[in-house]
Amino acid sequence: MGDENKVLFQITEANLDTGLRGMPVSTVFTSEVDPQDGLHYVGYPIADLADLDPEAAIFLLFHKHLPSEAELADFKADLVRRSKVDPRVVALITALPPEGHPMEWMIAALNFAGMLCKTGDYREDGLNVVAQMPELVAAIYRGRSGWGAPIQSEPERGLIENFVHMMGVPGADPAKLTRLMRVFYVLHMDHGGGNLSTFVGKAVASGKSDMYASLGASMAGLYGPLHGRANQECLNFLDTCGTNDPDAVEAFVRSEMAAGRSIYGFGHAVLRAEDPRAGVQYNLGRELCPDSEIFQRALVMRERAVKVLKESPKVKNPYPNVDAVSGSLLQACGLTDAEYYTVLFGLARCSGISAQIVDERLVHRGGKGVAIYRPDDIPVNQPHRRLQA
Ligand code: AMX
C-alpha cells in the first residue's frame, strides 16, 4: 500500500456476475490466502500454527503478534471471565424446533445472544462471542440431538477442552476429540477477507449493525453448501461413494461429474494447489485414526478425484480443500452426525470474522472505520420510461 492511485485491477464486462472473483475490495490485517502456499495468519503459514494453543491463535488474530507467556495467561483468564452465557439464551436455544438445521440454530443463538447481551462495543462483543461460543455450540448439539441436559461449563479447562467437556459426546474418547478439535479450531478460524461469510459479516457491520447481528449474517453465508456446509456434504459424498476400492472410487467420481454434481472437498475459488489445511488433517488422521474406513476412503479420494478433476478443462483447482478430510476425522473421533459439522466450522470462524470486524470498524482509516459497503452495478434491459398519463 502507499500509492493510492495505483491501479490494482481493471474491470471488464467479463468480471461482472462472477461473484467479485479476484477483485480486491479491502485491506486485511489478520490473514492472507496465497494461491500456491495457502493460508497464513499474520504472516505465519497455517501448517506451522496447527498445534498452537487455540487461545494463542485467537490472540494472534486480534493483536497481530503471538502472545508472550504472560500475555497468553492474561488472555486466557480474560476469556474465562467472558465465558458465562446468559441462561436465557440457552433456554431459547433448547426451545428451537428440531426440524431446523444446526446452522439455523446457530444463527438464532447469535441473534438471541445479541438481544440479551450486546454491549455495542465491537471489541467487547467480539471477544465475548469467542469466549461464549463453545457453550452455545454445546447447547445446540445437546439440545438438538437429545443427548440430555446441558453440562456445566468449566472454562478454566481451556476453550476447546471445556467445549469437549460440555459436549459430553456419547462413546467418544475425550483426549482424541480434544486433540482433533484444537487443530480443527485453529485451521478454521480465518481465511482472508474475501470469503463469503467474512465478507458478508464485514458488509453488515459496515452499516454499523452490532457484532452479534453481523456474525449471525456471516453464519447464514457459511451455511451454504458451496461454502461452510461443504464439510457436511463432503462426508455425505464419501458415504454415498460407499467403497474404498480405488477404481470404484474413480468410477464414482466420474459418474458424479457426468451428472453435473459437485465433487465435494475439491476445488477452490482462490487456491491453485492442495490446501495446506487438508495436508495437516491428512497427517492428523494418520495419527488419530489410521485404520478408520472412512479416513482410508478420503485418502483414496485424494488420489482419484484429483486425477479425474484434472481432466476437466474448466476446473481451475483439482486439489483437496479444507473440507476434503475434516468430516472423516470428526466421524472417526465420535462426532458421527455430519449435519453438525458446519456449526463446528462456525465455532472457529466467528473468531476470525470478529477480529476482522473489529479492525474494519475500529482500526481502518485511522480509526474512522471502513465506509459502508456500497459497490456499484450496471442496469440491464431497463430503458428509462414513463407510466402512461
Ligand atoms: N466439482 C465439480 N465441479 C467443479 C468443482 C468440483 N469440485 N470445482 C470447480 N468445478 C466447476 C465449477 O462448478 C465451475 O463450473 P461452471 O463453469 O459450469 O459453473 C467450473 O468448474 C470452474 O470453477 P472454478 O473457477 O474452478 O471454481 P469456483 O471458484 O467457481 O468454485 C468451489 C469454487 C469451491 C465452489 C468449487 O470448486 C466447488 O464447488 N467445489 C466443491 C464444493 C466444495 O468442496 N466446497 C468447499 C470450498 C471450501 C469452503 O469454502 N469451505
Asked whether residue 249 falls in the same domain as residue 269, the answer is yes
Asked whether residue 177 falls in the same domain as residue 58, the answer is yes
| Concatenated DSSP letters of 331-375 | HHTT---GGGHHHHHHHHHHHHHHHHHHHHHHTTGGGT-PPPP--
Residue pLDDT tens, the chain, 389 long:
678 888 988 999 999 999 999 899 889 999 999 999 999 999 999 999 999 999 999 999 999 999 999 999 999 999 999 999 999 999 999 999 999 999 999 999 999 999 999 999 999 999 999 999 999 999 999 999 989 889 999 999 999 999 999 999 999 999 999 999 999 999 999 999 999 999 999 999 999 999 999 999 999 999 998 888 988 899 999 999 999 999 999 999 999 999 999 999 999 989 999 999 999 999 999 999 999 999 999 999 999 999 999 999 999 999 999 999 999 999 999 999 999 999 999 999 999 999 999 999 999 999 999 999 999 999 999 999 999 87
Indicate if 3 belongs to the active site.
Answer: no
Residues in the chain: 389
DSSP H helices in the chain: 46-49, 54-63, 69-82, 87-94, 102-117, 122-145, 159-167, 174-188, 196-206, 211-222, 230-241, 246-258, 276-288, 293-310, 323-332, 341-362
For residue 148, the model assigns a pLDDT of 87
215-239: b (≥16 Cβ within 10 Å) or e: bbbbbbbbbeeebbbbbbbbbebbe
Asked whether residue 219 falls in the same domain as residue 296, the answer is no
Asked whether residue 174 falls in the same domain as residue 96, the answer is yes
Q: Is residue 151 part of a domain?
A: yes
| Domain total of the chain | 2
In the DSSP assignment, the letter for residue 65 is S
Atom 50 of ligand 1, residue of closest alpha carbon: 227
Pocket test for ligand 1, best of 314, 326, 328 (most atoms within 8 A of CB): 314
Tell the residue number behind the cell numbers 455495542, with chain if given.
Answer: 120
For residue 265, the CA-to-ligand 1 centroid distance in Å is: 9
Pocket test for ligand 1, best of 262, 301, 306, 307 (most atoms within 8 A of CB): 262
| Concatenated DSSP letters of 106-169 | HHHHHHHHHHHH--S-HHHHHHHHHHHHHHHHHHHHHHHHT--SPPPP-GGG-HHHHHHHHH--
Write the pLDDT tens digit of every residue in 324-348: 999 999 999 999 999 999 999 999 9
Contacts of residue 195, Cβ cutoff 8 Å, sequence gap at least 6: 227
Asked whether residue 123 falls in the same domain as residue 63, the answer is yes
Q: What's the CATH number where 84 sits?
A: 1.10.580.10
Ligand 1, atom nearest to 269 Cα: 29
Indicate if 165 belongs to the active site.
Answer: no
Residue range of the domain that includes 297: 230-332
Indicate if 78 belongs to the active site.
Answer: no
Asked whether residue 315 falls in the same domain as residue 205, the answer is no
Query: Is 265 close to ligand 1, i.e. is its CB under 6 Å away?
Result: yes
Tell the residue number behind the cell numbers 471488464, with chain if given.
Answer: 12
Atom 23 of ligand 1, residue of closest alpha carbon: 315
Ligand 1, atom nearest to 261 Cα: 2
Q: Is residue 13 part of a domain?
A: no
Q: Is residue 103 part of a domain?
A: yes
Asked whether residue 89 falls in the same domain as residue 235, the answer is no
Asked whether residue 82 falls in the same domain as residue 186, the answer is yes
Q: Is residue 289 part of a domain?
A: yes
For residue 230, the model assigns a pLDDT of 87
For residue 388, the model assigns a pLDDT of 87
For residue 4, the model assigns a pLDDT of 82
Q: Is residue 282 part of a domain?
A: yes
Query: Is 262 close to ligand 1, i.e. is its CB under 6 Å away?
Result: yes
Helix (H) or strand (E) holding 40: strand 38-41
For residue 1, the model assigns a pLDDT of 66
Asked whether residue 52 falls in the same domain as residue 196, the answer is yes
For residue 22, the model assigns a pLDDT of 87
Asked whether residue 209 falls in the same domain as residue 236, the answer is no
Q: Is residue 63 part of a domain?
A: yes
Q: Is residue 377 part of a domain?
A: no
Q: What's the CATH number where 318 sits?
A: 1.10.230.10
| Set of cell numbers at residue 133 | 461460543
pTM over 0.85: yes
Do residues 84 and 212 make contact, with C-beta atoms less than 8 angstroms apart? no
Q: 3-class DSSP state for residue 45?
A: strand
Asked whether residue 250 falls in the same domain as residue 267, the answer is yes
Pocket test for ligand 1, best of 39, 191, 222, 266 (most atoms within 8 A of CB): 266
| Set of cell numbers at residue 40 | 497464513
Neighbours of 347 (CB within 10 A): 25
In the DSSP assignment, the letter for residue 13 is G
Query: Is 266 close to ligand 1, i.e. is its CB under 6 Å away?
Result: yes
Q: Is residue 247 part of a domain?
A: yes
For residue 368, the CA-to-ligand 1 centroid distance in Å is: 37
From the number of C-beta atoms within 10 Å of its C-beta (0-12, 13-18, 19+), residue 122 rates as buried
* Residue tagged active-site, from 268, 337, 376, 377: 268
Asked whether residue 76 falls in the same domain as residue 186, the answer is yes
- The C-alpha angle with vertex 34 and arms to 366 and 130, in degrees rounded to 5, equals 55
